[in-house]
């Protein structure tokens, strides 16, 4: 998985998460005051103030971030759409006589990372970078395609870019184009498996 950009303001979420982690760590440390006093009395730690408080804040923030990044954002706490899942569909390509190719796409997504893998009978593409635009309802990603050993001789490793619109959350439609040495383009139609 790799990070993806978005036009959703993630800084506000991180700021809120930091504030909540700070308040939570203060409340818990007040409840565990005797532990903090003992920790401060240990050699080396008594010379550096607030080590247990800062450490505890960091731990609480990491727990909050992990929980939000993996699970909570999917519960409508975020405007970013959850595109995770298996998708089936087809590509209409400009290669040859404009044939249609069946595809299977697997999208793994967290609040901060995404991975898009597209498979056909001849090749496999993996995303390298991605962006989700909420204002345009569009997923854009750059991919690297590797042909299978059984594919035709004219198919070789190449890069490309895909644009997918998600007007409906269980349907992705868009287009793609490949790098200048391959020079193909086409349309993609995908539906999420239920």
Among 86, 115, 84, which residue's Cα sits nearest to residue 3?
Answer: 115
124 contacts 146 by C-beta, under 8 angstroms: yes
Judge whether residue 153 has pLDDT over 70. Answer: no
In the chain, the DSSP E strands lie at 2-3, 5-6, 85-93, 100-109, 113-119, 123-133, 138-147, 158-168, 171-178, 185-192
Percentage of residues in the chain having pLDDT higher than 70? 89
pLDDT digits (tens, 9 = 90+) for 50-94: 666 778 889 999 999 999 999 999 998 899 999 999 999 999 988
Confidence of residue 36 (pLDDT cuts 50, 70, 90): low
Q: Strand pairing of 123-133 and 5-6?
A: parallel
Domain ranges of the chain: 2-75, 85-192
pLDDT digits (tens, 9 = 90+) for 90-145: 999 888 787 899 999 999 999 999 999 999 998 999 999 999 999 999 999 999 99
Tally Cβ neighbours within 10 Å of residue 112: 17
Report the C-alpha gap between 9 and 21 in whole angstroms: 19
Backbone torsion region of residue 98, taken as left when φ is above 0, otherwise alpha when ψ lies between -120 and 50, otherwise beta: left
Q: What is the CATH number of domain 85-192?
A: 2.40.128
pLDDT at residue 65 in the model: 96
Confidence of residue 177 (pLDDT cuts 50, 70, 90): very high
SS3 83: coil
Report the C-alpha gap between 92 and 185 in whole angstroms: 9
- From first CA to last CA, the distance across the chain in angstroms is 23
Report the C-alpha gap between 98 and 91 in whole angstroms: 10
Mean of the per-residue pLDDT values of the chain: 89
Record the pTM.
Answer: 0.85
pLDDT at residue 66 in the model: 97
């Amino acid at each position: 998985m790799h990070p993806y950009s978005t036009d959703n303001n993630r800084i506000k979420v991180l700021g809120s998460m930091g504030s909540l982690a700070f308040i939570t760590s203060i409340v818990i440390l007040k409840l565990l005051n005797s532990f903090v006093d003992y920790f401060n009395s240990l050699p080396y730690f008594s010379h550096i103030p607030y080590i247990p408080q800062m450490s505890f804040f960091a731990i609480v923030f990491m727990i909050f971030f992990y929980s939000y990044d993996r699970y909570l954002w999917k519960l409508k706490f975020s405007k970013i759409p959850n595109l995770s899942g298996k998708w089936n569909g087809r590509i209409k390509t400009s290669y040859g006589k404009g044939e249609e190719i069946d595809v299977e796409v697997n999208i793994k997504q967290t609040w901060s990372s995404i991975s898009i893998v597209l498979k056909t009978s001849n090749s496999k593409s993996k995303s390298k970078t991605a962006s989700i635009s909420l204002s345009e309802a569009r997923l854009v990603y750059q991919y690297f395609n590797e042909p299978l050993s059984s594919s035709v001789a004219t198919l070789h490793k190449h890069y490309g870019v895909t644009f997918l619109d998600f007007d409906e959350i269980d349907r992705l439609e868009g287009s793609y184009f490949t790098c200048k040495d391959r020079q193909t383009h086409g349309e993609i139609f995908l539906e999420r498996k239920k």
